[in-house]
Structure 1
């Protein structure tokens, strides 16, 4: 589904509903893939063992990105690469690398933008790499990728953790997502034929779920991937405080995103209880969430409340007090995903651009504003822009500004701080 069609569908649906810690690692070793000739299923098959070196290419295959508009000449690959989960264990992640065919004419090596898409849904068919290649047309950020390629930049787009066969996407799990984004930037030069340099300047970019992931990558970069030459991060529509976001979503038009978050966080922290708390309606909601993409998530799960899905009729606050087998509660785990906390440990050494829609109806603007305030208070150079649209529209409205802002960072220009 193209962005314009998706905007129309979601706008109509919304109107109808509302009216009725860091691990230091060396650079990756030589790619485990001698050539990009893997079969498509191999990219999504969890390997028996995953190398401990993040950014190792495990499998790759050449593809055509039919959902990137503009007839841009490029080389593109699906990739399976190694990353690290929130427990410091090796994990495999899938993604896409695209490199423009036109020679890079700027200073230094061709820059790389590590990109994390916004919410796509938990179904295995929803992976960004599958959608860009046209296997399922529900994606809405092909325009973002096209704009970067037209500017001459390579795009290393992670699917995010958990889109492999038999796994569950670790939706809004901060450390896992931040690692996955940094590690596809590490993997990009190791893809045979990419022509990319390990000395390339790297930009980070994401919106909504991707905005949280890219800010987590920014917070983790210095400790986890110090060899990467990250020069800036652009993050929009940020769900910076999952408790605050959950309160706004529960029982509303976009409560499907809350279902995704519960499933994704439990996949990342399996000691947390979930199935044992659910009634039959709740278990069906989980099955639905795991099988559909963005539009299906919104339409099939709208109006659901956590109290109607649990055997004890739990409120969100009661759910947060439920304790897992490792002793941590749901609330403690959600608090660990909060952005803008402990910035003395998570030191960001490059400029950040944050943005949101003035009419954001999905993410409470208070949590987006709070992340900006926390970064400013910590001395992070933070640009800030508010667009006139809602949550979905602001993503598209910002594309030109973000690409220009990243271009200035790649050119070594000083960034303006709006703190």
Structure 2
């Protein structure tokens, strides 16, 4: 979907418009991938057991990416692959791999860009892989994928953890999302027919939710996936401090994203109290958030506050004090998602590009700026750019610059440091 069309839909949503959503498909048993002939349902069915080796391809299916504009000749697959959650347990994650059919003419082997989409919503039909293949059209980053393919790069786009049948997307859960992004880069060369090398140069890219995920992948890469040849990360619109973002969203036009975040974090950290805190309105909000995509989330939950959904009318600060069965509070878990902390431990050994919109109305610019400041203070070579758009439009405005920046990293050129 073109960016202008989505802006129109969001505007209509905030003025009271609605959006229908598609029902999830029936599921079947997943199986290891010897060839990419799995049924579509196989890709979204949690397997009974998941291999402990991250990046193992469990199922794949050849597809046509009808929502990627430009008619670019490519081979594309939906994939189900193994990853690791924040507790170190194996999990399965879905995603998409696309490889241009034109021969790679650059140096070395064809590079791979591991891509994490921005916020799409929690409904099972919202998965990026389903939207790219045209199952449901609320997607707005097909242009990003097209630009990468036109440049000759393979694109390994994760859906992010929790889009399989019966699951809840682990929205803005840092470690889970970072692992999922790195692991689809690991999985890409193992997809039959991809022609990709395990030694390929890898770039990371994401915006908004995806920007947080790609920065988490950058922070985790050296320790979690040291064999990957990651040469750079581009991250925009980054919600670096979830508490600061929550304060800005609560009760506002985009408060649906806060509801998604609460659901996503609780899915990733199930010991946190949640259901016991909800009143009837809160239970209905949960049902809604789990069934709709981006526009539906904005429509249904605009203007709502966390206190509206809890039996005790909890403020955000009071919610942060609620303690889970493992002893951790909501506040402690949210603090653990904060970006730019412990960068000496994470050892980012490649350049990072960060960017935001001057008129960002969704993510507070203060937290976006703070992440850049923290990276610079830690000695990470950091590019920085501010675009004239709001949160949604900035994603599109940055596409050309990001693809060019990644191309420079793949070519081994020195990155500018804007610290």
Verify same fold: TM over 0.5. Answer: yes
Q: Give, in whole Å, the separation in 2 of the partners of 1:115 and 1:250.
A: 28
3-state SS of paired residue (1:185):
helix
- The match for 1:277 is 277
Contact 1:32 1:56 in 2 (8 A): no
Q: What displacement does 1:324 show?
A: 0.4
Q: Give, in whole Å, the separation in 1 of the partners of 2:369 and 2:301.
A: 28
Unaligned runs of 5+ in 1: none
Q: Give, in whole Å, the separation in 1 of the partners of 2:29 and 2:382.
A: 39
Which string of whole-angstrom CA distances, capped at 9 and with x for unpartnered residues, describes residues 78-104 of structure 1?
Answer: 000000000000000000000000000
Q: Give, in whole Å, the separation in 2 of the partners of 1:396 and 1:48.
A: 39
- The match for 1:25 is 21
3-state SS of paired residue (2:52):
coil
Q: What displacement does 1:373 show?
A: 0.1
Q: What displacement does 1:7 show?
A: 1.5
Between Structure 1 and Structure 2, how many residues are aligned? Answer: 414
Q: CA RMSD in A?
A: 6.1
**1:15 aligned to which of 7, 12, 16:** 12
3-state SS of paired residue (2:15):
helix
Q: What displacement does 1:32 show?
A: 17
Contact 2:77 2:96 in 1 (8 A): yes
What TM-score comes out, normalization by structure 2 length? 0.95
Q: What displacement does 1:406 show?
A: 0.1
1:230 counterpart = 2:226 = no
3-state SS of paired residue (2:144):
helix
Contact 1:54 1:83 in 2 (8 A): yes
Contact 1:95 1:157 in 2 (8 A): yes
3-state SS of paired residue (1:107):
coil
Listed as ranges, the matches of 1:248-287 within 5 Å are 248-287=248-287
Q: What displacement does 1:187 show?
A: 0.1
Q: 1:24 to 1:335 in 2, by over 3 A?
A: farther
- The match for 2:365 is 365
Contact 2:27 2:41 in 1 (8 A): no
Contact 1:66 1:132 in 2 (8 A): yes
Q: Give, in whole Å, the separation in 2 of the partners of 1:58 and 1:403.
A: 30
Which string of whole-angstrom CA distances, capped at 9 and with x for unpartnered residues, describes residues 16-38 of structure 1?
Answer: 9599x999999999999990000
Contact 2:240 2:339 in 1 (8 A): yes
- The match for 1:291 is 291
Q: Give, in whole Å, the separation in 1 of the partners of 2:143 and 2:167.
A: 28
Q: What displacement does 1:15 show?
A: 9.3
Contact 2:18 2:296 in 1 (8 A): no
Contact 1:18 1:253 in 2 (8 A): no
Q: 1:73 to 1:31 in 2, by over 3 A?
A: farther
Q: What displacement does 1:312 show?
A: 0.3
Q: What displacement does 1:395 show?
A: 0.1
Contact 2:123 2:291 in 1 (8 A): yes
3-state SS of paired residue (1:103):
coil
Q: What displacement does 1:3 show?
A: 2.2
Contact 1:24 1:224 in 2 (8 A): no
3-state SS of paired residue (2:83):
strand
Which string of whole-angstrom CA distances, capped at 9 and with x for unpartnered residues, describes residues 359-387 of structure 1?
Answer: 00000000000000000000000000000
Which string of whole-angstrom CA distances, capped at 9 and with x for unpartnered residues, describes residues 370-418 of structure 1?
Answer: 0000000000000000000000000000000000000000000000010
Which string of whole-angstrom CA distances, capped at 9 and with x for unpartnered residues, describes residues 101-130 of structure 1?
Answer: 000000000000000000000000000000
Q: Give, in whole Å, the separation in 2 of the partners of 1:208 and 1:387.
A: 14
Q: Give, in whole Å, the separation in 1 of the partners of 2:29 and 2:322.
A: 44
Listed as ranges, the matches of 1:184-199 within 5 Å are 184-199=184-199
Which string of whole-angstrom CA distances, capped at 9 and with x for unpartnered residues, describes residues 139-194 of structure 1?
Answer: 00000000000000000000000000000000000000000000000000000000
Q: What displacement does 1:2 show?
A: 3.2
Contact 2:350 2:381 in 1 (8 A): yes
Q: 1:146 to 1:386 in 2, by over 3 A?
A: same
Contact 2:100 2:154 in 1 (8 A): yes
Contact 2:21 2:292 in 1 (8 A): no
- The match for 2:245 is 245
Contact 2:57 2:190 in 1 (8 A): yes
Q: 1:15 to 1:296 in 2, by over 3 A?
A: closer
Which string of whole-angstrom CA distances, capped at 9 and with x for unpartnered residues, describes residues 198-248 of structure 1?
Answer: 010000000000000000000000000000000000000000000000000
Contact 2:57 2:79 in 1 (8 A): yes
Runs of 4+ in structure 1 over 6 Å off? 21-34
Q: What displacement does 1:346 show?
A: 1.0
Contact 2:63 2:77 in 1 (8 A): yes
Q: 1:23 to 1:345 in 2, by over 3 A?
A: farther
Q: Give, in whole Å, the separation in 1 of the partners of 2:182 and 2:54.
A: 9
- The match for 1:136 is 136
Q: Which moves more between the two structures, 279-288 or 28-37?
A: 28-37
Contact 1:112 1:203 in 2 (8 A): yes
Q: 1:50 to 1:26 in 2, by over 3 A?
A: farther
Q: 1:360 to 1:29 in 2, by over 3 A?
A: closer
Contact 1:30 1:190 in 2 (8 A): no
